[in-house]
Amino acid sequence: MNKPSIAFLGLGIMGTGMAHRLLGAGFPLTVYNRNADKAKALGAAGAKIAATPRVAAAGADFVITMVADDVAARAVWLGESGALAGAKAGAILVECSTVTPEWIAELAAAAQKKGCLLLEAPVTGTKPHAAAGELTFLVGGDAKVLEQARPVLAVMSKAILHLGPHGSGAHIKLLNNFLCGVQAVSFAEALVFIEKSGLNRMQALDFILNGNPGSPLVKTMATRMLGGDFTPNFSMKWMAKDLAYSVAAGKKLSVDLATVATAQAALEKGIAAGLGEKDFSAVVELLRKK
């Protein structure tokens, strides 16, 4: 059987790896990115390159997006040049970006009006996981639609979790990133505390990392902060954005995510200091300078 055709929109740190996985699995692939230079490698590997989201989506069985935020998502989906304008009735739309529940509701309504089927499927994982096909998809939407999309998502993932109706994926992704951001900044503070206290750094870290605080995220942060390589796997500016989205989502549920404030402030200071494009673990550099 012929594999379904896919349009993939957004070739950043995550999207590039995901698109390469689809192309390597033999799916007919058309890609779009606002900066067309980022599409060249995929074009050389056999993907078609489209000039607009609308052109990319035209005739595709699946349209997948992985962009930065609500603003970027609206830009690729809506309007005369947007993907929805080119999508055929019955196409399955997959929004993988980390966005707000409000945007998912808006996109779901627009998709229904167009006669398309929507899944929200934000991911956990970073650049290496995207390249290796080891992401986890956090899916909101109709279970029957997910079963149609599963062979496509499976190529890019180690796990696919169906969490409920539209909005479920956005909520759990924001919750995940809220906890990751707070842990990262807390560990950065702890590491600087250790370094300035006169403790044996490696002995103290061995105790922390192998004790109750030693979550997988904290261990990853330790490796990056000690190694000093802040090549972005997940940029500081996007973690700050996700924390802001999580606070807003909490307020709509009458939940005050109070512990976000310190983490968000630290990341915003890092961005102001020119660290926004670096991995969010680089927040430790700002704390070390105090």
Active site residues per annotation: 173
Q: How far apart are CA 290 and CA 282, in angstroms?
A: 14
CA dihedral 170, 135, 17, 50 (to 10 degrees): -40
Three state DSSP letters for 13-69: HHHHHHHHHHHHCCCCEEEECCCHHHHHHHHHCCCEECCCHHHHHCCCCEEEECCCC
**Residue 285, SS3 per DSSP:** helix
Contacts of 207 (CB under 8 A, 6+ apart): none
Q: Any alpha helices (H) in the chain, and if so which ranges? A: 13-24, 40-44, 53-57, 70-77, 83-86, 101-114, 127-132, 143-154, 168-197, 201-209, 216-227, 236-252, 260-270, 283-288
Separation CA 80–CA 176 (nearest Å): 34
CB of 203 closer than 8 Å to CB of 240: no
Helix (H, G, I), strand (E, B) or coil at 12: coil
What is the spatial distance between Cα 36 and Cα 99, in angstroms, rounded to a whole number? 23
- Region of 274 on the Ramachandran plot (φ > 0 left; ψ -120 to 50 alpha; else beta): left
